[in-house]
Amino acid sequence: MANTEIVRLKTTVTDRDHVAGPQSAPVTLVEYGNFECIHCGRSHPVIKEVRKLLGDNLRFVFRHFPTVRTHPHSLRAAEAAEAAAAQGRFWEMHDELFTHQQSLEDHHLLSYASRIGLDGERFAREMAEHVFLKQIETDYERSIFDEHVTGTPTLYINAVRYNGAADVGSLLAAIKLADTEGLIRLPDSVGGIRGLIGRLRRGSNG
């Protein structure tokens, strides 16, 4: 069997990133995502469940990749997430946007801002003035030219691109394999994970 090419993340995680979880976590999961992308929407509850199961053993990083040609509301949604981040509420807005992917018009975004307790006047002003647009566009271009990201979701586990299935079991197994320190203990309630890890490990050694 031919070896799958390993694609590594070039843009390291910094203080500018949106990060959930401690820097000391043995595994970092990076997602290049798009709030209007249906595949990202399907991955959202999966990633939330994985984060819940792993706790402080996982650091999760979300980066915007709004593809406006196919997802016309994605850039505006990314701006809303950044405006929320400026008020310390990025993850709350992140969850609202993925939960309501079909409702991303400006009046919807204002409603979400109110729901998560933002200063509505500040949010509306920064959205009207496109305060965060240049930053998002710059990061988007870097994602294309440096990382060669072409679609969403694009995932990296410990800086290696993940091309496996986006279900809880497969993602947990891949994260466990990336834990070279052996710190992660998977819960017994997640059926079939250990067998899957064994198959993956045999495949990587083959």
132 Cβ neighbours under 8 A, 6+ residues apart = 78, 79, 82, 83, 86, 126
pLDDT attached to residue 61: 98
Q: Which domains does the chain have, with CATH numbers?
A: 18-205 (3.40.30.10)
Handedness of CA 108, 111, 112, 118 (dihedral sign): positive
Q: Would strands 58-64 and 27-33 be described as parallel, antiparallel, or unpaired?
A: parallel
For residue 2, the model assigns a pLDDT of 47
Q: Model-level pTM?
A: 0.90
- Residue 186 has a pLDDT of 81
- Torsion, Cα of 170, 176, 179, 180 (10° steps): -110
How distant, in Å, are the alpha carbons of 79, 80, 107 from that of 129? Answer: 11, 12, 16
Contact (CB, 8 A) for 184 and 176: yes
Q: Write out the chain's pLDDT in tens, 206 residues.
A: 445 789 999 999 999 999 999 999 999 999 999 999 999 999 999 999 999 999 999 999 999 999 999 999 999 999 999 999 999 999 999 999 999 999 999 999 999 999 999 999 999 999 999 999 999 999 999 999 999 999 999 999 999 999 999 999 999 999 999 999 999 988 666 555 555 555 545 555 54
Q: What pLDDT, on the 0 to 100 scale, is given for residue 203?
A: 53
Residue type, 164: G
